[in-house]
Amino acid sequence: MDVDPDSILAWGVTRGADIYCWLTTGDDPDLWPVLVYGRHTNPHFQVHPFGMAEFLRRLLTNEAFQEETISVVLPSRPSFVNWREQKRRLDAGLDPSTGEPW
In a domain, 93, yes or no: no
In a domain, 91, yes or no: no
- Residue 50: domain span: 5-71
In a domain, 61, yes or no: yes
The pLDDT, as a whole number, for residue 66 is 54
Per-residue pLDDT of the chain (102 residues; tens, 9 = 90+): 788 889 999 998 877 778 999 999 889 998 899 998 887 777 788 888 888 888 888 887 767 665 445 656 666 666 788 899 999 999 999 988 888 898
User: Which run of H or of E encompasses 47?
Assistant: strand 45-48
* Number of domains comprising the chain: 1
Distance CA 101, CA 94 (A): 5
List all residues 6 or more positions away from 75 whose beta carbon is below 8 Å from its beta carbon.
97, 98
The pLDDT, as a whole number, for residue 78 is 64
In a domain, 64, yes or no: yes
- 69-14-46-51 Cα dihedral, nearest 10 degrees: 110
The pLDDT, as a whole number, for residue 17 is 78
